[in-house]
Amino acid sequence: MSNLKGKAETVIEIEASPEQYYNIWKQAHHIPNVAGDHIQGVDVHEGDWHSHGGVKSWKYTVDGISGVFKEKVEFDDENKAVILNGLEGDVFKEYKSYKPVYHVLPNPKGKGSLVKLSIEYEKLHEGVSPPDIYVKLMVNISKDLDVHLNKA
């Protein structure tokens, strides 16, 4: 029997600084305005926008399909990582656990940043595919954020 747990990940380069990219996640209410093709709305259920432990519900579209994802956020200020601990939503039709991570680092080439995008997950059963389409969604959101941050 194969393992149901896994991690899907990729790394992209962006022009924004690590601080710019990380800090926009603490103002998540702006993300639907910046990445509207992918994120149609975000609401706070507990806490606030910029504090560790806040609970938010996201309305998203991936591959033409609308969904909802409710998460409890962890902000790792030291490592500039945003961890979205999945609580409920459409992804839980296929996954027992689901944790997207946006981790931004200075680009070793000198300019801009590297964004490590990953999803730690546990599938409900063997027939479920890894969440590659959701990693693609994370890439698209990150690219939209980068364009916005470079206009500012």
Residue 147: helix, strand or coil by DSSP?
helix
User: Residue 3: its pLDDT value, please?
Assistant: 87
Kindly report the CATH number assigned to the domain that includes residue 147: 3.30.530.20
Cα 84 from Cα 69, distance rounded (Å): 10
pLDDT at 100: 98
Q: What pLDDT does residue 5 have?
A: 97
For residue 2, the model assigns a pLDDT of 62
In this predicted structure, what is the pLDDT of residue 1? 44
**Rg over CA atoms, the chain:** 15
> Left (φ > 0), alpha (ψ -120 to 50) or beta: where does 64 sit?
left
Which two three-digit tokens encode residue 33? 């305005």
Task: Write down the pLDDT at residue 50.
Answer: 85
Domain limits at 33? 5-151
Kindly tell me the burial class for residue 137, based on how many C-beta atoms sit within 10 Å of its own C-beta (0-12, 13-18, 19 or more): buried
Tens-digit pLDDT string for the chain (152 aa): 468 999 999 999 999 999 999 999 999 999 999 999 999 999 999 998 888 899 999 999 999 999 999 999 999 999 999 999 999 999 999 999 999 999 999 999 989 999 999 999 999 999 999 999 999 999 999 999 999 999 96
**How many domains are there within the chain?**
1
**Alpha carbon distance 66, 59 (integer Å):** 7
